[in-house]
Structure 1
Amino acid sequence: MRYLGGTVRHGRISICTGPAVLALALGLWGITREHSMWRDEAATWQAAHRSLPEIGHLVGQVDVVHGLYYAVMHGVFALFGDSLVTLRLPSVLATATACGLTALVGARLSTGVAGTAAGLALAVVPAVQEHAQEGRSYALVLAFVVLATWLLVSALERPDARRWAGYAAATLIAAWLNWFSLFALVAHGVTMVCVRPGRTRLARWALAASGAVTAALPVILTSRHQSSQVSWIKPLGWSTVLGVLITVAVAALCTRLPQARGRVRPRAQEPLTRLNLAVVALPLCAVPQVGLALISLVKPLYVTRYVLFAYVGLALLIGVLLATIAARLKTDARALLPVAVTLALLALLPFELRLRTEESRIDDVLSAAARVGDVRDTADGVLYIPAARRDTALVSPHEFAGLRDLALAQGPVASGTLKGIEAAPHDIERAMLGARRIVLVTDPGPLRADTVRDLTKQRVLRTRFVRCSASVVRGRQVDLYERGTCHRTEGPDALRTSSARRGARG
């Protein structure tokens, strides 16, 4: 028996090692992205540097959906120091774990070859590669959703309290990291309906699921009062709809393969004749994407990273497709899978190369901060339009040494916000008129003022100051304004660009 257990354990290791190693290698490749950090990661950076009580103060007002992640990253920075590597390494490790677990799910529901192929397919998915190098929570959500799926299959085959408790815990942690992960719970509900596991198993699943949802309710309800944070999301476009339809259609076609619908023999006494890979993978692929898309018809919410875990379902079915091709060609899968992965990576090479540069994200706060450092000695004040661009200084405060924040009334930490609280418009105007030269950090292109405070900044700059220089730096613009006549040799429209002009979200 000990030998048999060792054999099973060795088999599991051999199945998941390849996908995990591939995901780890892709995640570590160019992890610093040419020493760049975009605005979402800047939010993680500044929040993780706060104390746990300060993080609690923050999430009571904004970003409650990321509260657990900020606390985790606070611990990571405390243990290993703050750097771009430590910012992104948890996501790399989570992605590698997710790919390994996906392989185990595929092997449990189909064959070892299908499982390994599924894990490799997930590692190669472009969106998964992108978020493996992101200092945000989405890769961790992916890992816990896959873990919950693996525990669900395990609990259905061999029901016991420990497995159901683990399933509930994994589902809850995923929801605390981002409650959109509960779409996976709905997908699991569809699986339960298809499997018809009997009253006992169904009751245990319902108990675990309801427990996870109940424990996640405080986060869900609080986030409803912070809905303004997702006001930037655009209405559902036809390209997004088409992408969802194609993904779900490919997954549905793959469910017709015999290996996807083959019966799994559970080791429990009561057989589950309807449990197979198709009834697990297709809902996991379709429900999150279609569900969020339908909600977005009423309130725009669809962003791919919110349902990144849906690619697990697609990867499981692609794994079955590759295993079927290997069987039909009578080819050794150990030779076919490396070839398939190599071809996929080569086909995606232009995307992969760009993904690991500063150009892959909408902006780079580090480059913009460095540009401010170049001009700060000639200025005595700084402004931000919109106020959210203050993250440039919060991530690299040393580059802003000696510059007075002319609009800030209460700092981000004290106010429990990410961008601080700005003074009244007349106070901002008075502070601006007391400055000789002002650095403005904004988005590329014409100034876009959406608040009374920003309109005041824009009006005073236009009527009382002259723009001496403007530099577009990787998705952000740094301007230098002077009272009266500009004494610089550059014209007001001289631009130093290190990247092409790109639109930026407000």
Structure 2
Amino acid sequence: MLAIGLWGVNRGGMWRDEAVTFQVARRTVPQIWRLLHGVDAVHGLYYLLMHAVLAVDPVPGEVVLRLPSVCGAAATAGLVAALGARLARPRVGLWAGLLYAVTPMAGHYAQEGRSYALVAAGAAGATLLLVRLLDGAARAWWPYGLVVAVTCLLHELAVLVLCAHAVTLALARAGRAVWWRWCRAVGAVGVVLAPLVIVSQGQAAQVGWLPVPGWGSAERVLRSFAAGPTGPVFWGCVVLVLLGLGRRRLSVVAGPLMVVPPAVLMGVSQVRPVYDDRYVLYALAGAPLLVAVGGDRLAGVMGRGLRWPGGRRVPRVRPVALAGVAAVAVAFLQHLPLHRVDRTPATRADNLAGVSVLAAREIRAGDPVLFLPSIARRAALAYPAAFAGARDLALRESGPRSGTLYGREAGPVELRRRLAGADRVWVVVEPYALGGGGRPSDASDRVKLAVVQEHFALREEHTRPGANAGATLRLYVRVRAAESGPCR
């Protein structure tokens, strides 16, 4: 998993969510704390963690940003292997850990500068602690509560792992004493998590863009969990999962972990949409466990039917484990093209490095710049060197000083005054902003759009190739200046 996570980790560009992590984590702790009161409280602990990580490197970049996720994914693979070894046998753990590592979904989020891979590690660690408690290998419940609390503080929707654990306790027919201790641990987690839940409820508009999930969402996450979206590997994993459900000791842990969090979140999202595949990445850990134990059952059935010519049974030894490793290798090779594509910027929603390259090439010191809409400023925040010396005409107060993500802009009157003195202006514009699909909701953005359309003419346009090229860089000149001829 570590090798797969490091492979192509410097893919050549941050996308919008990673850019938020990058620019927020480089603020001071008081500035981060102030920001969380207005936005992104759900990622607060992660931002503070990344603040410490980025401080290690004097000039942090994309690789340092993603290293915690790579390490989190590697830890998750190890924890999945430990679960398989404890709940079944060592070779099941070996197969499950390797299968988790080669699953494209795990590799994708191992290279995201966001919290999801770390949340997956926390959920797997909490599940292993629960199994140890149920086995009697551990007595103290506070480590379990601590790991769950930290995991939920990294992302509050990780709390659904507790729903999976409750189902596990019910299926395992845990006694009253176990239930009582588990409820106390959950209560402590609730006390720790309550302030975050209260604050984040006031910031719910941040996920207002999420749609109501349907059967397509369920099918997509199922295919993502099954070591790849298509082909014989997918159907082979489905068959092995069904076989694995017959191994009760493991299935009562892995089954709820795989099914309950996505199912509950999709159910809640029918009323209030909050579902996204990345929010339930931690549930992926259950799938390779079921596949691996299904493979173990299949190997056992085949082994019982094999006998030497004299009638003596063929012993099941180390070659069986190696055969399982070979099967995982075949699965990896089957989806190698998908892994390769995933290590390019094209697999993310946008590539802020693209517009920054254009800005570094075209914009000179002192040139005025507008960002339309204001969130297009994220390219300058992610790659400030590309916009060094440019004059941000609309910016009134920077993000760190204002306690916002992208800063506060001048009001409509002040913005018109600033634009009145410009004969030429570079506009970093998102593809949808000039499409005529409606007026911007922000007053400053409406002024930018109106002034540019009424008083300026397009002189140059620069766009990076690719479906997710992101923002476009345009040079506008005032109409009277445009009529006098080229300005450069």
In structure 2, which of residues 168, 178, 190 is the aligned counterpart of residue 191 of structure 1?
A: 168
Q: Which residue of 1 aligns with 2:313?
A: none
Q: CA deviation at 1:213?
A: 1.9
1:236 is aligned to 2:213 = yes
1:212-252 CA-to-partner distances (Å, cap 9, x unmatched) read: 12211111111111111112223324421333567899899
Q: Which residue of 1 aligns with 2:379?
A: 392
1:150-181 CA-to-partner distances (Å, cap 9, x unmatched) read: 0000011116543x111101100110000100
In structure 2, which of residues 275, 278, 284 is the aligned counterpart of residue 305 of structure 1?
A: 278
Secondary structure at the counterpart of residue 460 of structure 2: strand
Secondary structure at the counterpart of residue 309 of structure 1: helix
Q: Which residue of 1 aligns with 2:232?
A: none
Q: Which residue of 2 aligns with 1:116?
A: 94
Q: Which residue of 2 aligns with 1:476?
A: 471
**1:379–1:437 Cα contact (<8 Å) kept:** no
1:42-77 CA-to-partner distances (Å, cap 9, x unmatched) read: 001111101111111111111111111111111111
Unaligned runs of 5+ in 2: 227-234, 304-315
**2:5–2:110 Cα contact (<8 Å) kept:** yes
For residues 469 and 190 of structure 1, the distance between their equivalents in structure 2, rounded to whole angstroms, comes to 60
**2:104–2:224 Cα contact (<8 Å) kept:** no
**1:379–1:438 Cα contact (<8 Å) kept:** no
- AA matched with 2:260: V
Q: CA deviation at 1:284?
A: 0.8
Q: CA deviation at 1:379?
A: 6.7
Secondary structure at the counterpart of residue 392 of structure 1: helix
Cα distance, 1:379–1:53 mapped onto 2, change above 3 Å: closer
Which deviates further from its counterpart, 208-217 or 334-343?
334-343
Q: CA deviation at 1:139?
A: 0.3
**2:240–2:292 Cα contact (<8 Å) kept:** no
1:420-440 CA-to-partner distances (Å, cap 9, x unmatched) read: 111212222221221122111
For residues 479 and 328 of structure 1, the distance between their equivalents in structure 2, rounded to whole angstroms, comes to 66
In structure 2, which of residues 391, 395, 403 is the aligned counterpart of residue 404 of structure 1?
A: 391
**2:354–2:470 Cα contact (<8 Å) kept:** no
For residues 316 and 488 of structure 1, the distance between their equivalents in structure 2, rounded to whole angstroms, comes to 66
Q: How does 1:322-401 map to 2 (within 5 A)?
A: 322-330=295-303, 332-377=319-364, 380-401=367-388
Q: Which residue of 2 aligns with 1:84?
A: 62
Q: Which residue of 2 aligns with 1:459?
A: 450
1:396-427 CA-to-partner distances (Å, cap 9, x unmatched) read: 22221222111112110011111111121222
**1:106–1:112 Cα contact (<8 Å) kept:** yes
- AA matched with 1:132: A
Cα distance, 1:468–1:72 mapped onto 2, change above 3 Å: same
**1:151–1:167 Cα contact (<8 Å) kept:** yes
For residues 347 and 291 of structure 1, the distance between their equivalents in structure 2, rounded to whole angstroms, comes to 32
1:51 is aligned to 2:42 = no
For residues 244 and 402 of structure 1, the distance between their equivalents in structure 2, rounded to whole angstroms, comes to 45
Q: Tell me the C-alpha RMSD between the 2 structures.
A: 2.2
Cα distance, 1:234–1:430 mapped onto 2, change above 3 Å: farther
Q: Which residue of 2 aligns with 1:158?
A: 136
Q: Which residue of 2 aligns with 1:320?
A: 293
**2:461–2:475 Cα contact (<8 Å) kept:** yes
Secondary structure at the counterpart of residue 8 of structure 2: coil
Aligned residues: 453
For residues 141 and 468 of structure 1, the distance between their equivalents in structure 2, rounded to whole angstroms, comes to 48
**1:194–1:279 Cα contact (<8 Å) kept:** yes
**1:381–1:438 Cα contact (<8 Å) kept:** yes
Cα distance, 1:410–1:139 mapped onto 2, change above 3 Å: same
Which deviates further from its counterpart, 229-238 or 48-57?
229-238
Secondary structure at the counterpart of residue 482 of structure 1: strand
TM-score (norm 1): 0.85
Q: Which residue of 1 aligns with 2:417?
A: 430
Secondary structure at the counterpart of residue 166 of structure 1: helix
Cα distance, 1:203–1:446 mapped onto 2, change above 3 Å: closer
Q: Which residue of 2 aligns with 1:291?
A: 264
Q: CA deviation at 1:391?
A: 1.2
Q: CA deviation at 1:489?
A: 9.8
Which deviates further from its counterpart, 374-383 or 305-314?
374-383
1:171-212 CA-to-partner distances (Å, cap 9, x unmatched) read: 001100001001111110111111122111111111111111
- AA matched with 1:158: G
For residues 415 and 429 of structure 1, the distance between their equivalents in structure 2, rounded to whole angstroms, comes to 22
Q: CA deviation at 1:472?
A: 2.2
**1:372–1:439 Cα contact (<8 Å) kept:** no
**1:117–1:323 Cα contact (<8 Å) kept:** no
Secondary structure at the counterpart of residue 431 of structure 2: coil
Q: CA deviation at 1:328?
A: 3.6
Q: Which residue of 2 aligns with 1:209?
A: 186
Cα distance, 1:305–1:245 mapped onto 2, change above 3 Å: closer
Cα distance, 1:91–1:425 mapped onto 2, change above 3 Å: same
Q: CA deviation at 1:80?
A: 3.5
For residues 487 and 406 of structure 2, the distance between their equivalents in structure 1, rounded to whole angstroms, comes to 34
- AA matched with 2:261: P
Which deviates further from its counterpart, 319-328 or 430-439?
319-328
Secondary structure at the counterpart of residue 193 of structure 1: helix
Which deviates further from its counterpart, 276-285 or 445-454?
445-454
1:451-501 CA-to-partner distances (Å, cap 9, x unmatched) read: 2221211111111111112222322211111112544599xxxxxxxxxxx
1:240-276 CA-to-partner distances (Å, cap 9, x unmatched) read: 133356789989975653x65446xxxxxxxxxxxx1
In structure 1, which of residues 435, 450, 473 is the aligned counterpart of residue 441 of structure 2?
A: 450
Cα distance, 1:248–1:279 mapped onto 2, change above 3 Å: farther
Which deviates further from its counterpart, 110-119 or 447-456?
447-456
For residues 295 and 416 of structure 2, the distance between their equivalents in structure 1, rounded to whole angstroms, comes to 65
For residues 315 and 78 of structure 1, the distance between their equivalents in structure 2, rounded to whole angstroms, comes to 36
- AA matched with 1:380: D
Q: Sequence identity, in percent? A: 38
**1:437–1:481 Cα contact (<8 Å) kept:** yes
Cα distance, 1:132–1:224 mapped onto 2, change above 3 Å: same
**1:244–1:290 Cα contact (<8 Å) kept:** no
Which deviates further from its counterpart, 288-297 or 480-489?
480-489
Which deviates further from its counterpart, 336-345 or 248-257?
248-257
Secondary structure at the counterpart of residue 56 of structure 2: helix
For residues 234 and 427 of structure 1, the distance between their equivalents in structure 2, rounded to whole angstroms, comes to 37
Runs of 4+ in 1 over 4 A off after TM superposition: 244-256, 259-263, 487-490
1:96 is aligned to 2:74 = yes
Q: CA deviation at 1:329?
A: 4.0
